[in-house]
Amino acid sequence: MNIGFIGLGIMGKPMAGHLIAGGHTAHLYSRSGVAQELLDAGGKSCTSPAEVAQNADVIFIMVPDTPDVEKVLFGKNGVAEGLGADKGAGKIVVDMSSISPIETKVFAARINEFKCDYIDAPVSGGEVGAKNAALTIMCGGPEAAFEKVKPLFELMGKNITLVGGNGDGQTCKVCNQIIVALNIEAVGEALLFASKAGADPARVRQALMGGFANSRILEVHGERMVKRTFNPGFRIELHQKDLNLALSGARAMGISLPNTATAQELFNSCAAHGGKAWDHSAMVRALEFMANHEVAK
């Protein structure tokens, strides 16, 4: 199949590589140029998102934030220009970036005007998941389009779910980031309490893993807190971007997310201490700054 891939950074590059390895003809565009490795594997370099859209039937996007997606889609030489030039009816635009669920619905409607389908398909699993083709992919869009793209998703990920219509994939990703942040915060408060009370946080974590307090975060990030391994992983500055989507979405929709707000402030405190590139599990450090006590030495 002729596929397109726009955005070939830490995530996009290995993802595009998996699609090429799966036997597809990949039309590639990245602001900073296309890596030689992808060209050697058979990828074709394009000079703009418009050129990608003209040549591909399924166009993947993997860029940092909402304005980046908007520019790739509707900016000068953007995807929309390519779809228009090509009478691109029947093509599918798949945005795998993590961006605003609200803007996503607007973008989808504008792409639909070209008689093209739109799928929002943000991922979790990070760089490791991208390299190992083990991403979790949360999708929103029409079921027929999803079924067409699913074999391509399966080259990049494992847990692939159609959550609902356009925007619902992004909503699900925001929910994921809320829970991950708040579960990190929960483990941080608990292990700080344990340590200050004189208990061994490693043994407390072990005991808790057998019961109702268990979570993937207790398993993975609880261990990071105990061992003080705060090299990323997933950088605090990226999680701050995601929680901003949660908090601005909450304000726009009329709901209150009190603990997400606090978690964001704790990330802000880490950043204030020079930690925007720490792993997000280092949120516990912000609790430690307040208490002047470390979970473990």
Per CB under 8 A, which of residues 260..279 are in contact with a copy of itself?
Answer: 260, 262-263, 266
For residue 35, the 8-state DSSP code is -
Region 221-240 residues binding a copy of itself, contact defined as CB under 8 A: none
DSSP lists the bridge partners of residue 235 as 279
Ranges within 163-222 binding a copy of itself (CB under 8 A): 163-165, 167-168, 171-172, 174-176, 178-180, 182-183, 185-187, 189-194, 196-200, 203-204, 206-208, 210-218, 220
What is the smallest separation between the CB atom of 74 and a copy of itself, expressed in angstroms? Answer: 23
Record the tokens describing residue 107, joined without a space. 């973008």
Site for a copy of itself in 19-58 (CB under 8 A): none
Closer residue to a copy of itself (CB): 83 or 246: 246
Shortest Å, Cβ 199 to a copy of itself: 4
Residue 173 appears among annotated catalytic residues: yes
Contact 130, 62 (CB under 8 A): no
7 binds a copy of itself (CB under 8 A): no
> DSSP secondary structure string, 46-88?
-SSHHHHHHH-SEEEE--SSHHHHHHHHHSTT-HHHHHHHTT-
Minimum separation from the CB atom of position 89 to a copy of itself (A): 27
DSSP state of 224: H
What number of chain residues touch a copy of itself (CB under 8 A)?
73
Contact string (CB under 8 A) for a copy of itself, positions 88-127, x = contact: -------------xx---------------------xx--
Nearest to 24 by CA among 177, 154, 134: 154
- Residues in contact with 207: Cβ distance below 8 Å, sequence separation at least 6, in sequence order: none
* Residues 240-259 close enough to bind a copy of itself by CB under 8 A: 246, 249-250, 253-259
Minimum distance of a copy of itself from residue 73's CB (angstroms): 21
Distance CA 294, CA 287 (A): 9
Burial class (CB in 10 A: 0-12, 13-18, 19+), 256: exposed
User: Which C-beta is closer to a copy of itself: that of 133 or that of 192?
Assistant: 192
Contact yes or no for 240/271 (Cβ under 8 A):
yes
User: Active-site positions?
Assistant: 173
